[in-house]
Amino acid sequence: MDELDRNILALLGADARMSVATLARRLKVARSTVQARLERLESTGVIAGYTLKLGEAARQGRLRASVLLTIEPRAQAGILTRLKSISEVEKVFTTSGRFDLLLQIAAPNTQVLDQVLDQIGALTGVNSSESLIHLSTRIDRAI
């Protein structure tokens, strides 16, 4: 990736609906250059897709939490299979350090969140969990 690729990604990160013509105008390059770059970025997997990023207004009414799990050795595959069946689990990351997995979950209210946390804690192979409730977003640079 070169500077032009990074600039294309930055502009699309701010507005994924930006047209190829607008991208070309802003970057002061030919439309065909931007089109070729986009096709290459897509085919190489740098751009996996174009998506919608919800703002705070759309996320209101959703209680979010991060859950840190310590699991038994070699239990990860089975735990991941069971976590896939819990609709409130949005993302699961492997981590380094004292925790093995980091879960991002969202629930409509505290009762559902409590049930989900109990369900996760009861999974075979989960040794311990720690939950962090998200209160407000101060910085969000995710693309």
- Mean of the pLDDT values across residues 26-55? 90
More confident call, 56 vs 1: 1
Q: Which CATH architecture has domain 56-133?
A: 2-Layer Sandwich (3.30)
Q: What is the CA radius of gyration of the chain?
A: 20
The strands making up 63-71's β-sheet, listed across from edge to edge, are 89-94, 101-107, 63-71, 126-133
Q: Which helix (H) or strand (E) holds 54?
A: none
Match domain 3-43 to its CATH number in 3.30.360.10, 3.40.50.300, 3.20.20.60, 1.10.10.10.
1.10.10.10
The encoded tokens of residue 104 equal: 């991002």
Q: What's the pLDDT score for residue 59?
A: 61
pLDDT above 90 (res 71): yes
